[in-house]
Chain A
Amino acid sequence: MIQLLANWILSFDMLSGMGASVAWGLSLFIVAALIFVFVAVNAIVLVYIERKVSAFMQVRLGPMRVGKYGTLQTVADALKLLQKEDIIPKMADKVLFVVGPWVILVASVVTFAAIPFSDTLLAANMNIGLFYVVSISSIVVLGIVMAGWASNNKWSLYGAMRSAAQIISYEIPVGITLIAVVAVVGSLNLQTIIEAQGGTGNLFHWIPIPLPNWFIFHSPFLFMAAFVYLIGATAEINRVPFDIPESESELVAGFMTEFSGLRWALFFLSEYANATLVAFLVSIVFLGGWQSPFSSYQGTQIGFSIITIFALFWTIFVQGKTKRLSVYPLGLSLVITIAAWLFPGFAIWMASPGIFWMLMKVAGIIFLLMWFRWTFPRLRVDQLMYLSWKVILPLSLINLMGVAIWMWLTGEIQF
């Protein structure tokens, strides 16, 4: 994308004199700025959505005052945070205290360089994309430890220590789980991984249910691996039920205790950037990335018809028991089905790969993370380690071996 942008810049007569390297640098800067803007906007939107989702799950309304339905609430919050006094505790290690939040932010923003948004839209098409993402994103722990240590606060220190232990422990099962996928594709390039998931096939190769060729449907082992990865990644980004580094009821705010204003906003920015990153990785690696779930426009029509029938049954039999019916799912799927049958162009668009499907999948995963967060209690430190070393790690190893055996059974590889 950077090269494309540079070529595009050079194609203008006025700008062609600047030279190829200058144009490349300029486009590099533009792309970096775009990614940063994406991360910032993403955080603002996600904070709003998270507040709304949590409110709805807790029979509340959430923000309602600033803007229609409180849509501008997070914008107002961001402005407020920017205006706040810049406080550095007297006894804090000033350099680390200032640098810590930026390290976290940079580590989580830089990973987006390798994330493909669609088949063409990505900053850098790396052949080691997956490796790059996993390795860079674990730099976050460095920033957390810096921030926690520099605060010179016992709660912050506890939070930082817990975070270090937690993130390093969960790197291992997460990495091994991803290796299982790499074993199937034979490449670390994220675009290649997505391209390998195109088309339609049977569920788990043999069960005759036509489903997209996503890796989550590739084999029972990869199906399990998707959830193992999701759990491990949730732990890696410090979200409930693994939010022990910042566990509010125990460590006040963990490593963020002493931070306020802009620096605190940076923590939030990186937290949501990390959540988005995890959602992107899950959808890239297991859910086919920007691939459409429908192979052709007939597939769209039939698929949505089936979804509508499911929605109908759900509305009648599940919702019917409650006093008030929620007909939005049924109505939405019905409208899309009718549109798909009436307008083939719409159906074709639905069946074609693109950024729409990518973002839909990401949104779904993020909603799942929010759902977890507003339902579960928090684990304890040692239970977290137990889960990591005794449950998730063996499972990921079994997955890795299982995938290899499965591929041998289905004939994808021969020895």
Chain B
Amino acid sequence: MGRLHAEEMILNMGPQHPSTHGVLRLKLRTDGEIVSHIEPVIGYLHRSFEKHAENLEYQMVTPFTGRCDYLAAMGSEHGYAMAVEKMLGIELPERVEYLRVIFAELQRIASHLVAVGTFGLDVGAITPFIYCFRERELILDLFEMASGARLLYNYIWIGGLAHDVPPGFVEKTYEFLDAFEKRVAEYNQILTGNKIFIERAADIGVMTPEVAINYGVTGPSLRASGVNIDIRRTEPYSIYDRFDFDVPLGQGAMGTVGDSWDRYYMRVLEMSESAKIVRQALDQLPVEGDVQAAIPRRIRPPQGEIYFRSENPRGELGYYIVSDGKNVPLRLKMRSPAFSNLSVINEIGQGWMISDVIAILGSLDIVLGEIDR
């Protein structure tokens, strides 16, 4: 056996691969099925968002933010709008804040539904994916009702919303929440508790809290490691301090704290928590009110810079904006959560099999539009 010579093989996973969630390329160094090194190669979806932003007026940037994280466009728009509003020092009407929270949380549910469904797809379960998308369609219906678009909304504008929600929106949202809470049990029945699924996900790609913090991992992936950081809770923006919700943390129920199953399950739990927030926001929503704060037609924030962060479905979404007093940002930097989350893949994916790398990648829930920007 001593003379048996085994070489490591470089395996290019992607950019055309069914489960790299877009156009990500992973350079895997493999020894048989075991992966000894992972090198993510990104940039295939680079659309120069930040350079665009430097040449566009502040309002015109909003539709581009939605195109970064296209699965959570409302969240991206919310973060950007809040950042600019903070620069301008605008007070928003109550109704706007509530509606924004409703949309951001519905978007979180929609985004997590995709994450849960595609994670199932990555480990080979096709049917839960379709169920998840069925519920996501219901959320998109609500968004379409309000904004007129199903994926990229451009609905949360600086200083308010594009226009008010239509009559019947609140009732339809309640209807959706009632239906949705039952459906979560179904996902748990078909996927979460499935023994094969647990075998595929539990104890795989364990991310310790130290590793997670060192790599700047945020969002559900960080909380799965047991680190209690949720910007909605730790530094509440908008009106998140008014709602009562739990921040689910990884317990290691099926294996170790911070494994792929925990990261998956965080999203399932957060969907229920988001549904809770939406319900409270709908209960407290002011019936009447303006949806646009008084803002100048030409937005010229005072000279200065700002870093504003918010909790996107994928983690901490930060906008760093430098203004020179003109109506075009001098510099706009987006701190995208999925970029940092992806960077940890080599650390936690080493030594696992090819199938596990797919599962780990799926559990990190990346969106390439946001990584490449």
Contacts and interface: CB of A to CB of B under 8 A. Distances in A.
B355 A247 contact: yes
B130 A376 contact: no
Interface string A368-383: 0000001111111111
A252 B13 CA distance: 9
A89 B127 CA distance: 34
Contacts of B190: 375
Interface stretch (A40-48, A53-61, A111-119, A226-234): A53-61
Given A57-B127, A249-B122, A249-B124, A378 B200 contact: yes
Contacts of A58: 126-127, 130-131
Given A248-B18, A252-B18, A243 B124 contact: yes
A138 B150 CA distance: 50
Interface in A196-252: 240-241, 243-244, 247-252
A382 B354 CA distance: 11
Contacts of A154: 9, 11
Contacts of B121: 249
B120 interface: yes
B39 interface: no
Given A249-B122, A252-B17, A377 B194 contact: yes
A158 interface: yes
B123 A377 contact: yes
A230 to B, nearest CB: 16
B230 interface: no
A306 to B, nearest CB: 30
B131 A250 contact: no
A374 B9 CA distance: 33
B311 interface: no
Nearest to B122: A249
A380 B200 contact: yes
A241 B124 contact: yes
B330 interface: no
Contacts of A241: 124, 196
Contacts of A244: 355
Most buried by A among B122, B125, B353, B355: B355
Given A58-B131, A243-B124, A376-B125, A250 B354 contact: yes
A250 B123 CA distance: 8
A377 B33 contact: no
Contact of B120 (A158, A247, A248, A377): A377
Given A250-B19, A250-B354, A250-B355, A374 B127 contact: yes
Interface string B341-369: 00000000000011110100000000000
Contacts of B353: 380-382
A249 B18 contact: yes
B246 interface: no
Contact of B191 (A158, A377, A379): A377
B194 A380 contact: no
A380 B131 contact: no
Given A249-B122, A380-B355, A380-B356, A375 B127 contact: yes
Contact of A158 (B134, B354, B358): B354
Given A243-B124, A376-B196, A381 B33 contact: yes
- Give me the 3 closest cross-chain CB pairs, A-B, nearest first: A378-B124, A58-B130, A377-B125
Given A252-B18, A377-B191, 8 more contacts: A60-B130, A244-B355, A250-B358, A376-B124, A376-B194, A377-B196, A380-B200, A381-B355
